[in-house]
A and B are shown apart, each in its own frame.
Chain A
């Protein structure tokens, strides 16, 4: 049993993203014309205004852009401390996700470290978390 997590409410815009991890792959919307990744999901490419956008798998490799070690007990059902991270996906410099950094001691987390995606199963939702790549 995974610890409590507030889950996203699925809708037509976000369902592909939050259910993507069922096959172990992370997906973002990508422009079919100029190959630009778009996040959060939007029906238009913000670079070339193409409407030909659709989900595309990424490698799941990323770099830790920033993080914080949370000690505050915002909610009674979660143990502290835990790490909130902001990762930059390998595919595109401005493709970022706020996430949790897991499977690592808090003191071993550092900005710039390589991380890779791992999913927490809340079927049908698979929450993308990140762990050290090596």
Chain B
């Protein structure tokens, strides 16, 4: 299996800006903070960076969603690049990282700066969470099939998946709620987390309903912040000052229909396909995974990834989550050890990748998983959007 491209790339450096609910700093300023930290962490100078990659690229989406495009960041740092890309289509947010690994493996670049920046908290601070398609008279494209029916948010689209899962498998809110409750405990140990007050299952169940079965604490918390990585050629790993993270395998497949409401099995989503394609690229199995950082734009997505990645059988995530002991920091499979997007903040997939490297390095401080962390599974996305990877320590 050593001929897989991802084995020729590593994450050599990580960086993260301040993260907060109302930082009122520009997206470029946050990006530069994270990027310079990542480059220094990789033991490199700015002039060593010869590639740049981001998700989703400039413009588009709700206010504060997109962050700066690569031209703005490239120019701010006066990077001289041999390869560059930005884009929203692909296997979720981590497509920016996977593409960087491909570029490095292909010899197009040696050190690629990859970043994801959000300023959704400041940008949407005037009112409630912004709906998609509200305030427009007419809508075209794929959203014409949801927005006219007042399904203004991914919350509404994914609630259809969740309620189907509840109906078919008997999953309950008490089971689902163990994801946000456990993550709030983890967030209390993360100095950068935005929500750290203790939260009980009763607190979770009594919070106001957003769209059944999702209550307030099933939905992630918009923040301002930027996360950056340096993806380097694997032959640099021995020279990196901090332990590099290897890409053991990446999962990029989308074998079902690329649609929120036409996907064949509403209880599984595209996570099923990305996970299957990832395990096809490695001899490791779910039993080898020490820690899982699983996307949680909504709690149900984490539940779905637990099943798709094979940590429990399809339909059995409810019982797997019961009581929350298995996913706890000292459990058999610690999940979202930094608090995830539900409590640490919506860094949109990149927070999970960052935390995976932190745990592999043993740099998690109070939230560091006590057992040896050699293999971490990371997943991004929900609905028809999914990407995943297994990271291991390079040395």
Contact = CB atoms under 8 A, between A and B. Distances in A.
Interface of A: 5-9, 11, 14, 39-40, 65-75, 78, 82, 84, 86, 94, 96-100, 111-112, 127
A71 B208 contact: yes
Interface residues of B, number: 44
Contacts of A86: 160, 164, 261, 266
B148 A5 contact: yes
B61 interface: no
Max chain A C-beta neighbours (<10 A), residue from B128, B144, B161: B144
A74 B261 contact: no
Contact of A69 (B133, B137, B211): B211
A84 B211 contact: yes
Contacts, number: 118
Contacts of A73: 128
Given A40-B145, A66-B164, A82 B150 contact: yes
B124 to A, nearest CB: 12
B209 interface: yes
A74 B152 CA distance: 7
In order of increasing CB-CB distance, the 4 nearest A-B pairs are A74-B131, A68-B159, A74-B152, A9-B140
Interface string B127-140: 01101011111111
B150 A5 contact: yes
Contact of B262 (A6, A9, A74, A96): A96
B264 interface: yes
Contacts of A66: 160-161, 163-164, 167, 266
B210 interface: yes
18 contacts: A6-B136, A6-B150, A8-B139, A66-B160, A68-B211, A68-B213, A68-B214, A69-B209, A70-B151, A70-B156, A70-B211, A71-B208, A71-B210, A72-B129, A72-B210, A74-B134, A94-B262, A111-B167
Contacts of A70: 150-151, 156, 159, 210-212
B296 to A, nearest CB: 18
